[in-house]
């Protein structure tokens, strides 16, 4: 599946037009423009360092990343999002695919300490980085304070948006352990719930802010 010869050509080997044709999605080009230019393919592409713009794909490229503490390697087409890499290929399904275009927050993961929408990042952008999903909040069987507060106050119904909310909230408290409920609500305004669990979520937030996020 991962044929190295296909992605060691470098920029000289594959034109931008060919790259776009191969990857199919315009979003790939846009996102790639924002991606760090160097190190996308790590040791796989020694040529990339000498070329001005590393060319990747359309064949699968290897991504190495750490997910919830475990090192993982997988080869995916460059157009594959971080969300789809996690869900479809690495079987990490706590991040949910809902809107798939950065509007609902169900896919929120923590990337090197910051909450991000994993549907708007390419898998390749997570090269060498550390990803944490909601699953990490019950490591060693101990429930983190945020999901625990959600359970206590029944701040979830169907639960499909919940891991996204929980991850966003955890990140907000990590960023500012003294955050007020209003600040937490601001931090959660990029997440959408359809069942309408916001009232119970507020109870959970009040509880967590009272405890200073411990």
Partner 1 sequence: MPNTWPKERRLLGTRVQRLDGPEKATGRARYSLDVNRPGMLHASILRCPHAHARIKGLDVTAARKMPGVKAIHVIVVPTETGTVVKADGNAVVVTVGMGDKAKERTLKVGPGLWLFRESKVVKPTDLQADDRITFQVEEEAVGRELFYAGDEVAAVACDTEEHAADAVRAIKVEYELLDALVTENDALANDLKTVPPFGNKNDRNNVRLLKEEKNDDIDEAFKKAEVVHEGEYGAATINHHCLEPHGLVAEWDKDGGLTLWASTQAVAGVADTAAKVFAVPALKVKCITHYMGGGYGSKFAPEVEGITAIELARKAKAPVKLFLGRADEVVLGGNRPSAYAKVKIGATRDGKVVAYFCDTWGTPGIANGATVGPLPYVYEFPSKHTRVSAVRLNTAMMRAMRAPGHPQSCLLTDCPLDDLAAKLGIDPMQVRLKNLPENDADAAKNFPQSYNAMRHTLYSEQMKIAARLSDWEKRWRPPGKGERKGPIKHGMGMALHTWGGQASFPNDVQVTISSDGSVLVESSTQDLGTGERTVLAIVVAEVLGLEPKDVTLHIGESQYGRSGGSGGSTTCPGTAPVAYMAALAARDDLFDKIATRLKGKKEDLAIEPGKIVDKGANKKYPWKEACARLGMDTVIGKPAANDAALKQGVSELSNVKVGGVQVAEVLVDTETGVVRCTRVVAVQDCGLVVNKLGCESQVAGGVIMGVNYALFEERVMDRHTGRQVNADMEFYKLGGIKDMPEVVVHMYDMPERGVIGIGEPPTISTAAAIGNAIFNAIGARVAYAPYTPERVLEALVKA
List residues binding partner 1 (CB under 8 A): 24, 77, 79-80, 84, 87-88, 91, 93-101, 103-104, 106, 133-135, 137-138, 143-144, 146-148, 150-152, 154-163, 166, 185-186, 188-202
Smallest distance from the beta carbon of 116 to partner 1, in angstroms?
Answer: 16
- Min dist CB 94 to partner 1, Å, is 2
Query: Can you spell out the DSSP letters for 62-97?
Result: EEEEEETTEEEEEEE-TT-BHHHIIIIIS---SS--
d(CA 76, CA 59): 8
Write out the two tokens for 109: 């993961």
**Beta carbon nearer to partner 1, 100 or 207:** 100
Nearer to partner 1, 45 or 156 (CB): 156
Given a contact cutoff of 8 angstroms between Cβ atoms, the answer to whether 160 and 96 are in contact is: yes
Q: Residues 83-92: contacts with CB within 8 Å, 24+ apart?
A: 83/107, 83/118, 83/119, 83/121, 84/123, 85/123, 85/126, 86/118, 86/131, 86/133, 92/67, 92/68, 92/133, 92/135
The number of beta carbons lying within 10 Å of the beta carbon of residue 33 is: 9
CB of 91 to partner 1, least distance (A): 5
Is 10 or 28 the residue whose CB approaches partner 1 more closely?
28
Residue 183 class from Cβ within 10 Å (0-12 exposed, 13-18 middle, 19+ buried)?
middle
> Least Å distance between CB 150 and partner 1?
4
Closest distance of CB 70 from partner 1, Å: 15
Minimum CB distance to partner 1 smaller for 64 or for 97: 97
Q: Which is nearer to partner 1, 10 or 57 (CB)?
A: 57
Instruction: Please identify, using beta-carbon distances, which residue of 77 and 125 lies nearer to partner 1.
Output: 77
Minimum distance, C-beta of residue 102 to partner 1, in the bound complex (Å): 8
């Amino acid at each position: 599946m991962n044929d190295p010869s296909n992605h060691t050509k470098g920029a000289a080997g594959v034109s931008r037009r060919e790259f776009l044709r191969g990857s199919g999605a315009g979003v790939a080009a846009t996102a790639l423009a924002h991606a760090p230019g160097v190190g996308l393919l790590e040791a796989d592409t020694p040529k990339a360092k000498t070329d001005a713009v590393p060319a990747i794909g359309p064949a699968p490229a290897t991504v190495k990343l750490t997910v919830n503490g475990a090192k993982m390697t997988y080869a995916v087409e460059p157009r594959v999002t971080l969300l789809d890499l996690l869900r479809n290929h690495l079987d990490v399904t706590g991040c949910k695919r809902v809107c798939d275009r950065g509007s609902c927050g169900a896919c929120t993961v923590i990337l090197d300490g910051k909450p991000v929408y994993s549907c708007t990042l390419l898998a390749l952008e997570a090269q060498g980085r550390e990803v944490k999903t909601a699953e990490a909040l019950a490591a060693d069987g101990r429930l983190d304070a945020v999901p625990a507060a959600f359970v206590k106050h029944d701040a979830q119904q169907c639960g499909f948006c919940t891991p996204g909310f929980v991850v966003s909230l955890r990140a907000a408290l990590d960023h500012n352990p003294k955050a007020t409920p209003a600040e937490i609500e601001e931090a959660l305004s990029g997440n959408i719930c359809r069942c309408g669990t916001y009232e119970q979520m507020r109870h959970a937030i009040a509880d967590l802010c009272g405890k200073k996020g411990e």
